Amino acid sequence: MNTIKKLFIAFAAVIVISLGFSHVAYASELTDLEDHFEITDTIEITEKESNALEDAGSQNEAGVQKEADTLNEADIQGDTNSLDVEEVVDSDEFNPDEYEIFIDEQGQVYYLEKEPVEPEIEEIDELIQEELEEEQVKENVKEEKKKPSYSEKDLRLLSCLIYSEAGNQSYKGMLAVANVVLNRVKSSAYYHVNTIEEVIYDNQWAVQFTVTIKSKKTGKSMLDKALESYDTGKFTGKNPAAEKKAMDRAIKAAKAALNGENNIGDYLCFRMNNSGAKSIKKKYSDYKILGAHIFYRTK
């Protein structure tokens, strides 16, 4: 009988415990559950613990902030080499443009030395381009300042020969006549003449330029008259204005030839391109006709 009672009590205890664990608490039942589970005490303990944790966190944050402020202050003092207001201002070498003002949380004023501004470095290709442009400018200046390799005497004489021989021709025809004279100065075929004047007045084999032959009536050659007009600027022909323009073209052609412009190559001779030029064309397969003149012979 005792054994049956013990089993019954144990069975009843299991049922009570099972009912206790499976019980669901709703909001309306919280008041009733306070007596069984002491919820109020649990909540109070949790709030205390929460407040304690918050206090501890605040202390930790304050400690971290204080440590950060200490480090920042140390960095600032290290950067400024511990320069305070009085030390900087009292210095004879103080330059306000070289410093920035910093005030910390305690109101302490510091002068921070500014970092030097690095100059901008241009791209290497731009620098090279600028150098090349500068060199080109210098070369152009040198060319402008470079004196001509001919004298005024040469220019005067060559211009007047061109005017006398090809005054009624185009600029290209005038330039070709100028180059015949200069080719003879350099040619070994005319070894006995070495200057423009010698070429123009050469008569060793025969008169080379008929405009140098003097008139029996006036005692002057066509070249002499051209030289007078060149010197005085006066032209006594039937059309002075046209003659002046022709002289200006002749001077321009002479300068161009003296500076190296050549439109006939190595030709050494020229003459009127008329019936008398037939023999020239048969003898020389290489020739060039410009206006009223035929240019030929290179040796």
> Mean pLDDT, to the nearest integer, of 157-175?
97
Residues in CB range of 60: below 8 A, 6 or more apart:
none
Separation of alpha carbons 80 and 246, rounded Å: 84
Going by pLDDT thresholds of 50, 70 and 90, the confidence category of residue 83 is very low
Going by pLDDT thresholds of 50, 70 and 90, the confidence category of residue 131 is confident
Place of tokens 């080109």: 136
- For 19-33, 47-61, 109-123, 276-290, which range has the lowest pLDDT when averaged over its residues? 19-33
Sign of the alpha-carbon torsion through 203, 206, 209, 213? positive
Beta bridge partners of 112: 100
Q: Sketch the domain layout of the chain as residue ranges.
A: 152-296
Give pairs for 149-156: CB < 8 Å, separation 24+.
149/258, 150/258, 153/197, 154/195, 154/196, 154/197, 154/258, 155/251, 155/254, 155/255, 155/258, 156/227, 156/230, 156/231
Q: What is the largest CA-CA distance in the chain?
A: 186
Q: Which of 112, 183, 154, 181 is nearest to 251 (CA)?
A: 154
pLDDT top residue among 118 and 98: 98
Radius of gyration of the chain (CA): 57
Token pair listed for 123: 């791209």
